[in-house]
Amino acid sequence: MKIAGKTISPAWISAVLLFIAYLFSTGRALLISCSTGDHSMFSDGRIIRVAHWQLEPGYREGLQWAIDQYNQLPRVREAGITVEQIPVTERVYPQFLNVHLIAGTAPDIAVAAGSFTGGADAARFFAALGEFVNSPNPYNDPATLAAAIGEESGIALDLDGSLSNTPWRSTFADNLETGFNSQLNDYYAIPVSTWGAVRIFYNLELLATGKRFALEAAQSESEPQWLRQLWQTPENPASGFLLRNQANLSWLENFRQPPETLGQLILFCEALQAYAAASGQSTLVPISGSNYVSSDMTIIYRTPFLSGFHEDSVFFTGTGLNSLEIIDAFSRGIWNFEKPAVREYFKLGQQLSSYYPTGFLGLDREQALRRFVLGQAAIMAAGGWDASSVYAGVRSRDNPADQFEVAVRKYPLPAPGERWSEYLNARTNEATASGGVSFSIYKQTKSLDWTLDFLKFLTAQPINRRFNAEAGWLPVTSGAEPVEHMKPFVPMMEGIPEGWSLRPRYVTGALSFAWTQNLKRFFSGKSNYDEMAQAISDEFLHELRGVFGLWQSEFQRARDRSRARDRFTSIERLRVLRTGDEAAIDRELSLMEATLTSDEGVDLRNAWSRLYPDTPFLKPPVAK
Amino acid sequence: MPLRSYTQLASSILGHFRLATLCRILPCPILLSGLSLGLFIPFTPLAAEVEPSSTEAPINHEAPISSGLQALLNFDFSGAYSELREHHENLSPSDPLWPEAAYAYAQAAWHRSPPNNNTIRRAREVLEEVAIQAEGTPLGAAALLDIGRILEVADNRDDQPDPEQAERYYRRVLEEYAGSRMAQRAALYLAQVKVQSLEEARVREALNILQQTEDVDRFPEWAAVMTYYAAHLSYFYLDDADTALAYFERARQLGFANQATADRKLWQFAQIARKTGRSNWADKWLQQLLNEYPNSIYGWAARQQLGASPDSETLTSAQDRP
């Protein structure tokens, strides 16, 4: 190769390129090493690293805004403190954190995830925050915050001062329940956002298209078969979904109005499906379903349908349902697949999943989102955490003509008299959709004071409001008003507790597999109801792997939990003996209370003795 | 495959690179690695410099014991065991460090994973020594309670529990340390060993122990735990709703040990009260639930039961406009 008249060997070019790459990577490694190490080549500064996996559009930018504000505080600059975020993809985040926790190099602040978040591991790796959360957050005091950030920051400091003297714990919308570890009876995390509940997104362009098509069909002299079968009539009382009345016909005329009832939702889905077939758009579907739980609309309706067996199934009055109670109740005939509520739930699920794309079980969260954003689905169910992705995705369509308006609504319930109205007469409580992105403080951090200070800053009312507005999330601090487009995602604290529903979780592998796989096969049309019911029943009642096996494994787990509680109790008692630590006394009392009522699985043995008085514990009951 | 074949293969993949060229640039990475080492070594902190040990210098136990205790408080049982084992064994019981070091060592030996019968046996021996050396102190009482617990439960498949002997240790604390917090703890352990039998007479014995030991004036927090436990036993083990509800009301007044679960307890006993026809109790507790825990997951159900109209808009309205 000739350059400027001189012949240069390609080998030398390779060597030069290699050397440049080397210099770059060495320089970068050196910079990182110097800035995060104990000794700094360039400044006396200390870096507080904040790790999380929220890579949704806007979240990093929102958090960075708050970090920049904090880094600019005069007292922070004087102390040479710099906060940095480390966003890590969700797929590798648990491994990333596990490795660094074990190696002693974990970020100062991190969303706890992976293997070391429960039980003793939480206490081993993360700082207990109980002693800090009962005093007020100084940044909630208008004078303190104004003095700290100065007027030039441009942050609206419309703090009314009502939180000035409120304990930090009580300034969270969920009273900091998200950060509370009931096993350790202490606070181990500080949420900085609210997850937001699952809501239904509508593409208003496709909504209008589908409704126009349905209206034309309804006004034609001879209604097409797809429409006729939807109306509840005296001849069709069991299989119709809604009445052919003025209210429903008027609704069809308002093209931009999303479904108000479950019957209207089904009517719209059928109309769009018929429209897609008529116009040859094979990729257009009514609902963008996938294997991602939040996008499965069937699940939204599960609790109201399947919570009616709760009172008869629990072993102890007034508790939620656990998996053993659910499957044991099945073995005792309290519920089965012949019960109308169960059968009807699966019928609704089958109906809704027939509007999902073919092969939806092979699609993931991203694919569901993409389909909706590309205008290939009219409806998508998603949580508040995905809202910014939806809005950003729609806005970023290259061709402005492809952009569309989005409406967000709660899931519709049937109107009185509509099909399933006798089962769906209340919503599900969404309390679990509260505090999100809960940051824990690494126990070995060298800057506990500053990490706490940063979290207090981040959760001060005006900062939390602005940060979440920038991120496109819901704030977590009481009184912090969410931005307009996020208001529909505020969780409803009214409704049936999710824990009353038939939802076997954390069961042995065989039972879990039997439940989830057979449900998936049914909803994807690969098996019929009877086949699904038979397959699940066979497994639930299997001599070894079934309910009897579950009693054994739950008993073993109860004993393991007792051992774990013994460890916690010993350490808390040691703390009490050494220092008389008040918080440790509270934790020990709480552990003792839990130990007493369930120690060594005594509660399970007690339940067994009442359910099967003639059968020794863990001997298979004789079939009656 | 000989080394030369690999080189030829690599050469053919690289296409226009001749073998000779490749050989010329091969030293580059080696050179660069050497450079890296040269650059980084000055910035790498050295391991703590260790003074040459003198054979005459006394062994300092304080630092490793403190480090072992810290590991234990961080729930690192294996780390604590390694640190404490050697230094505890070399300490004299007359050393002021001994009681705490011995107790901590026993905890680490008992709880380290996986459970090992030899170390658990050693833990018990050390705790026996602590109970003697620290007799009359809370540490001595704690050692007796721990021995009771070790005897009471099976730590692994080969470990045979001995609840009767465990009871003797708990009773010792109850009697020898009467009027102390350790006696409160002992009463709870003793009661729950008896309940493990599921026999009515033994459950009633447990209730008697709780009643006799409870000291609301001096130890209200322990009294609250005992009273709540008594409510639980009365209903779920003896089917005695009246006694259970009376105990629960008392526990409620004393305050629950775990505030995070207070709403669940109020809901649970309100349901028991309703089920057994004591709706006045139920209404009172449901009202407290609504007043003090407005975001409880039981709020809606409590309102339904109280006949208060829940927010019908959020529950049953077909349309909820944002």
pLDDT, tens digit, 9 for 90 and up, residues A435-454: 889 999 998 888 889 999 99
Q: How confident is the model at residue A132 (pLDDT cuts 50, 70, 90)?
A: confident
Average per-residue pLDDT for chain A: 88
So what's the pLDDT on residue A444?
Answer: 84
Residue B313's pLDDT is 39
State whether residue A366 sits within 8 Å of chain B by CB: no
**Nearest chain B alpha carbon to A571:** B73
What tokens does B150 get?
């070790």
CA distance B55 to chain A (A): 34
- B interface test, pick of A419, A428, A571, A609 with most B CB neighbours within 10 Å: A571
Which chain B positions have a beta carbon within 8 Å of A37's beta carbon? 43, 45
Instruction: Establish if A34 touches chain B: CB-CB under 8 angstroms.
Output: yes
Bridge partners (DSSP) of residue A48 are A83
| pLDDT at position B132 over 60 | yes
Is it the case that residue A43 has pLDDT exceeding 50?
no
Place of tokens 């018929």: A274
Which among A194-208, A513-527, B246-260 has the top mean pLDDT? A194-208
For residue A163 the two structure tokens come to 């939180």
DSSP class of residue A99 equals H
Q: What is the dihedral angle through the alpha carbons of A265, A269, A270, A272, rounded to the nearest 10 degrees?
A: 140
- Residue A182 to residue A591: CA distance in whole angstroms: 9
Greatest mean pLDDT among A104-118, A152-166, B8-22 lies in A104-118
The token pair that represents B157 in the structure block: 């498949």
- Judged against a pLDDT cut of 60, whether residue A41 lies above it is answered with no
Q: What average pLDDT does range A333-349 have in this prediction?
A: 95
| Ranges A144-153, A468-477, B41-50, B175-184: which has the least confidence | B41-50
Inter-chain CB pairs, A–B, below 8 Å = 204
With a cut of 90, say whether residue A12 has pLDDT above it.
no
pLDDT digits (tens, 9 = 90+) for B1-60: 444 444 454 455 545 445 555 555 555 555 556 555 555 444 443 333 333 444 455 567
Taking the C-alpha atoms of residue A572 and residue A298, their distance in angstroms, rounded to an integer, is 45
Specify burial of residue B151 (Cβ count, 10 A radius: 0-12, 13-18, 19+): buried
If one compares B155 and A197, the residue with the highest pLDDT of the two is A197
Q: Which residues of B touch A426 (CB under 8 A)?
A: 300, 315-316
**Phi, psi values for residue A198, rounded to 5°:** -80, 130
Do residues A209 and A383 make contact, with C-beta atoms less than 8 angstroms apart?
no
pLDDT of residue A51: 95
User: Residue A435: what are its φ and ψ, rounded to 5°?
Assistant: -50, 130
Task: Using a pLDDT cut of 90, give the percent of chain A over it.
Answer: 53
Average of per-residue pLDDT values in chain B: 81
Residue B51 is predicted with a pLDDT of: 39
Nearest to A353 by CA among A259, A289, A419, A270: A289
Q: What is the pLDDT of residue B182?
A: 94
Tell me how far the alpha carbon of residue B313 is from its chain's centroid.
Answer: 44
Asked if pLDDT for residue A35 goes beyond 70, the answer is no
Per-residue confidence band for A7, with pLDDT thresholds at 50, 70 and 90 = confident
Supply the DSSP symbol for A375.
T
Classify residue A47 by burial, with Cβ atoms within 10 Å: 0-12, 13-18, 19+.
Answer: middle
Q: Is the minimum CB–CB distance between A293 and chain B shorter than 8 Å?
A: no
- pLDDT tens column, B294-307: 878 898 999 999 98
Interval A332-353 mean pLDDT: 95
Which pLDDT value is given to residue B220?
93
- DSSP codes joined into one string, B167-190: HHHHHHHHHHTTTSHHHHHHHHHH
- pLDDT for the residue numbered A622: 59
Asked whether the beta carbons of residue B258 and residue A182 sit closer than 8 angstroms, the reply is yes
User: Do the bridges between strand A2-3 and strand A46-52 make them parallel or antiparallel, or are there none, so unpaired?
Assistant: unpaired
Please indicate whether residue A160 or residue A82 has the higher confidence score (pLDDT): A82
B41 neighbourhood in chain A, CB within 8 Å: none
Highest mean pLDDT (candidates A123-127, A586-590, B14-18, B169-173): B169-173
Inter-chain residue contact A174 with B295, CB threshold 8 Å = yes
Compute the distance between CA of residue A375 and CA of residue A404 in angstroms, rounded to an integer. Answer: 8
Work out the average pLDDT over A386-404. Answer: 89
CB within 8 Å: B28 and A19: yes
**Is residue A506 within 8 angstroms of chain B, CB to CB?**
no
Average pLDDT score over residue span B288-298: 87
Cis peptide before B115 (omega within 30 of 0): no
Q: What number of other Cβ atoms are within 10 A of residue B89's Cβ?
A: 12
Those residues whose C-beta lies under 8 Å from the C-beta of residue A513, and which sit 6 or more positions away, are none
Nearest to A261 among B196, B269, B318 (CB): B318
Lowest mean pLDDT among A38-42, A435-439, A518-522: A38-42
Complex prediction ipTM = 0.80
Cβ contact B314–A174 (<8 Å): no
Q: Does A317 lie at the interface with B, CB-CB under 8 angstroms?
A: yes
DSSP, res B109: H
If you average pLDDT over each of A18-22, B21-25, B36-40, B128-132, which comes out highest? B128-132
